[in-house]
Amino acid sequence: MWKQGTDGVYTRQSESETPRAADLTGIPAGHVTMLFPVRGWYALPFRAASADESLYADLSAMHAERLGVRWDPMGGQLMDTFLVNSEGEAATLLAVVLKAPGEGELPPRSPKEFDLSARAFPVEGDAIAAWMEFGRWVFAFYKQGRLLYAQATSSESPDPDAGVLREIKLATSQLAIQGLTLRPQTVYVWSERSNAGSLAAGIAGAAVRTSARPDPKLPQPHSKLLPADVRAARKAAMAKQQQTLAIAAGVLVYLGIIGWLGYGLYQTKQKALATQKSADKIFSKAKRTEFELYRNSWNELDLVVNKSRWPVELMNRVVKAIPQTANGKLHFKKAEVTETDINLSGDAAELAPINGLNYNLKQPGYLLSDYTWSTPEAAPGQTGFSFNYTSTLKK
């Protein structure tokens, strides 16, 4: 793992021999870019008879299909195309097909972007580079400093042996058949042992340089590779962020409404206080006492001036509450009307008219709903049923 400093230079932060990216710990916070090892993708260079960049993706897909390299269309963005060089109306392109990452091959924290390890190491001119990745030698061809081809070998020897040299020469021959001739000026062997092995004298006309593997630089242009599960994780994170923003917006709206209502209540309270102060100025203590005496005196006349409190009017309303079909069948034995109470008792040969009166007394249409009624069930007798209803004026 490398971490970029404030000066833009990457420095090695930690190193691990684990082949599973999922087992990595201590991943730095912030923008993470994952570099896939050479064994994790296919390099498919070819000559294109067009320099139109809009056609590169389609030409690369056709080239991959012609070579029998296929990828899962549901696996995300597993293919990308890089320009190696262009000459007039033709171009040399590198089509890259990423192997769909298996279980444990992605880090525990989703990277923001992906690229290739062979593109990240700075190389100048036409060259070949060989280094160890996960216990095996890999090599890459560079044309004018840009990646042309890369391949993982089966060699696990401490130094690049004859097997590595053989696979390099075979790859060179295959590229030459396609018209992709490579004449390396330098062969880089990135090894802590500083031993070029069989490559020292195996590649004619090239200077062999051994050194530790350099720290990477973020490749330009950036790749478009994006495996599906990471894409799903990114969409889930985006959806969660949008949900959080929606909740935050809802909270702000709610707080705004509460603030607006609170401000309205505050204004109402202030108006009430202002009105009270005005009233206090208008009414002195003596005048207020006189006003209370006047209001109490007027309330005492309520039985006279308020028709709804007249006993005759109340009794008339009670009579109207008797069901029409019960005329002559329901009899009052007692009907008392006071300032605050109405007490009724009587009997009927049948239960229906009593129940009808019970229902009507509580309906607004009979203008007796200002009273709280107590209407227990009618009691059966020798000649029918009797009832006893009481009510109190609501305060």
The CATH number covering residue 387 comes to 3.30.1360
Are both 62 and 202 inside the same structural domain?
A: yes
The answer to whether the beta carbons of residues 191 and 132 sit under 8 Å apart is yes
Inform me whether the pLDDT recorded for 93 exceeds 90: yes
Are both 93 and 207 inside the same structural domain?
A: yes
70-82: average pLDDT: 86
Choosing from 173, 190, 224, the residue where a domain stops is: 224
φ and ψ of 56, to 5 deg: -60, -45
Q: Where does the pLDDT of residue 269 fall: very low under 50, low under 70, confident under 90, or very high at 90 and above? A: confident
Global confidence as pTM: 0.58
Reported as a single tens digit per residue, the pLDDT across 111-164 is 888 999 999 998 999 999 999 998 899 999 999 999 999 999 999 998 898 999
φ and ψ of 221, to 5 deg: -75, 160
The helix/strand count (H/E) of the chain reads as 9, 19
The answer to whether the beta carbons of residues 116 and 150 sit under 8 Å apart is yes
Are both 181 and 56 inside the same structural domain?
A: yes
Q: Tell me which residue range forms the domain holding 201.
A: 31-224
What integer pLDDT is reported at residue 285 of this predicted model? 62
Inform me whether the pLDDT recorded for 294 exceeds 80: no
What integer pLDDT is reported at residue 7 of this predicted model? 85
Q: Does residue 53 belong to any structural domain of this protein?
A: yes
Q: Does residue 190 belong to any structural domain of this protein?
A: yes
What integer pLDDT is reported at residue 230 of this predicted model? 59
Task: State the chain's mean pLDDT as an integer.
Answer: 86
- Bond preceding residue 221 cis, omega within 30 of 0: yes
What integer pLDDT is reported at residue 149 of this predicted model? 96
Choosing from 171, 201, 224, the residue where a domain stops is: 224
When mean pLDDT is compared across 5-14, 20-29, 254-263, 296-305, the lowest value belongs to: 296-305
Q: Does residue 211 belong to any structural domain of this protein?
A: yes
Q: Answer left, alpha or beta for residue 70, where phi above 0 means left and psi between -120 and 50 means alpha.
A: beta
Residues 6+ apart with CB under 8 A from 24: 1, 16, 18, 107, 108
Are both 41 and 178 inside the same structural domain?
A: yes
Inform me whether the pLDDT recorded for 327 exceeds 90: no
Give how far Cα 303 sits from Cα of 293, 312, 372, 395, Å. Answer: 17, 11, 19, 15
Q: Does residue 236 belong to any structural domain of this protein?
A: no
Give how far Cα 17 sits from Cα of 32, 120, 181, Å. Answer: 20, 19, 36
Q: Does residue 16 belong to any structural domain of this protein?
A: no
